[in-house]
Amino acid sequence: MGLELLTQVLGLSDCVVKDILIREKEIILKIERTGYPYCPRCGQHYLEAPKDRRKQRVEDLSICGKRCFLEIVKRRIECSCGFKGTEGIEWLERYERVTVRYQNWIYAFCKRMTGIDVAILFGISKHMVYRLDKEGIQRELALQKPIRPKRIGVDEISRKKGHRHATIISAPDERKIET
């Protein structure tokens, strides 16, 4: 497959695949960013030459059963709004070592199986799974509209064989719960 076609298959904005490395259990795609970098704070495109570049490896969705890593070069900018740091990338959150679609993918599994099972299935640490799960929950909660329930229920459950307790507050009419 040509690199041009591979870039299309990858489908991430503003980047082209420059090289591919296929190992026994993983695929590494070296990608280059195209276009001008943009400021993650104010969104304006930065027209001057970037101050600095930093190579980073991030995990993306697997390809044919092999884990897939993207090797990207992040550009450092100093924007007129006062922002200093690495450029914004649509499909990669700041400080994140995995792509946004990978985050969502892991979160989708976390909703259906235990964190340990997700960690085993994807070969990543359970701490990573818990973190991605937590972030997924926070993203989902942020999208929810606030409610003004007329009735609420309060319950307490024990966790870790009675060593820890959690309080569950529910709004039965709205079918929402919070722990």
d(Cα 96, Cα 116) in Å, to the nearest integer? Answer: 21
91 touches Zn ion by CB under 5 A: no
When binding is defined by CB under 5 A, the residue of 5, 22, 81, 152 that contacts Zn ion is 81
- In this complex, which beta carbon is closest to Zn ion, that of residue 59 or of residue 87? 87
- Is residue 68 near Zn ion by the rule CB under 5 A? no
Cα separation, 30 vs 21, in Å, equals: 8
In the complex with Zn ion, the residue whose CB is nearer, 15 or 39, is 39
Note the maximum CA span of the chain: 60
Strand ranges in 24-152 using DSSP code E only, listed in sequence order = 26-33, 52-63, 66-78, 84-86
Q: Is residue 39 a contact point for Zn ion (CB under 5 A)?
A: yes
Q: Which two tokens stand for residue 131?
A: 């973190």
Among 42, 61, 73, 177, binds Zn ion (CB under 5 A): 42
Segment interacting with Zn ion, rule: CB under 5 A, options 13-21, 59-67, 77-85, 106-114: 77-85
